[in-house]
Amino acid sequence: MSTKDIDFAVGAIGEFEGYLANKSVSLESADLETLKDYVSLLIQQGKNSWERLVAIARYCNLAKKNDYYVYFTSILGARNVLPDIGERLAAIAGEEIRCRVYQGFKLPPLGLPQENYPRLTQGVMDRMETELPSETVKKVLTWNYHKVPVEAFKERKERFEKAASIDEYLKDEHKRFIEELEKFVKNGEIWYEQEITPEVVEFVRDNQEICTGVRYDDRIYVTKIPYVPMQYLNEKDPTMKRYYACHCPLARSAIREGKPKISSMFCYCSGGFEKVHFDVIFGEPVEAELLESALQGNMRCRFANKIPRDKMK
């Protein structure tokens, strides 16, 4: 970071700490409503910039204020996905279609809770499915909208090339994944957006499909780890269990509220994220198929990724 950016971040954090002090709470003792109130204040003051919110989020992560950090990921993580879908839509179907689909589209102020997004998501999906064949909609959505860099999978690609078989590779990756999760438990740190506990580790250990994959014939089946894994494991209510399973801040509150009705085709966006790993190790785009998703009524989100014929081993 540049000196200017560092100074801004430190200043933003100082203001945040000052707000907490005025409320007679510390970062450690403050509840989640305190953070929500502060973000609302920033929106009112026009100080809700990406740079400010990210600086505070990083601070909370490093300070292991896990509930705050997870909240920040929920309001920041998918902010640009809907606009980026519009860009890809224009590239595939033309600017005229994009204009028809996105007419009147306006993102809510940065920092508002994820409950403000499902209506937008529903509108975009309803219009896109009206304007385009389903296969084109899938093509638009099945993309790396989180912009995960190819370099992130460099070591995995090297391990895949050295492995005697796809099955051996996947088994080894699952073992590595469990070891990684165990480190996060030990350090009390957030793994991406998930708080990992020993119970969560055992849940993942018992199912190689979770975040790794299992090959059946010419497809690799992958199940997403629940977005809120501990609550997911303990929840008995089917609706809330689906809510805890879903990762997408653009849609998940619609599961809990029962509205609006968002097409489960939108989950191909998640399929695009899940397949990037396989695109890289196989050296070409793979075909992803949505099998189950919380948005369409299932208790988990599951995808099948087709192995290119000449990459089978």
pLDDT at 77 over 90: no
pLDDT above 90: percentage of residues in the chain: 99
Domain hosting 109: range is: 81-137
Q: Do 89 and 187 share a structural domain?
A: no
Q: Do 36 and 168 share a structural domain?
A: no
Q: Output the average pLDDT for the chain.
A: 96
Q: Tell me whether residue 191 is in a domain.
A: yes
Contact 220, 170 (CB under 8 A): yes
Q: Do 117 and 208 share a structural domain?
A: no
Q: Do 65 and 131 share a structural domain?
A: no
Mean pLDDT of 112-127: 96
pLDDT tens figures, 100-110: 999 999 999 99
Question: Which pLDDT score is estimated for 225?
Answer: 97
Please state, in angstroms and rounded to a whole number, the distance separating the CA atoms of residues 81 and 84: 5
pLDDT at 39 over 90: yes
Q: Do 161 and 295 share a structural domain?
A: yes
pLDDT tens figures, 205-243: 999 999 999 999 999 999 999 999 999 999 999 999 999
Q: Do 90 and 71 share a structural domain?
A: no
Q: How many domains does one find in the chain?
A: 3
Q: Do 70 and 118 share a structural domain?
A: no
pLDDT tens figures, 246-265: 999 999 999 999 999 999 99
pTM above 0.75, yes or no: yes
Q: Do 121 and 53 share a structural domain?
A: no
Q: Tell me whether residue 127 is in a domain.
A: yes
Model confidence at 12, pLDDT cuts 50, 70, 90, reads very high
Q: Do 238 and 207 share a structural domain?
A: yes
| Domain boundary, last residue among 59, 76, 93 | 76
Q: Do 154 and 15 share a structural domain?
A: no
pLDDT at 164 over 90: yes
| Domain boundary, last residue among 55, 76, 97 | 76
pLDDT at 78 over 90: no
Q: Tell me whether residue 142 is in a domain.
A: no
Q: Tell me whether residue 144 is in a domain.
A: no
Q: Do 69 and 93 share a structural domain?
A: no
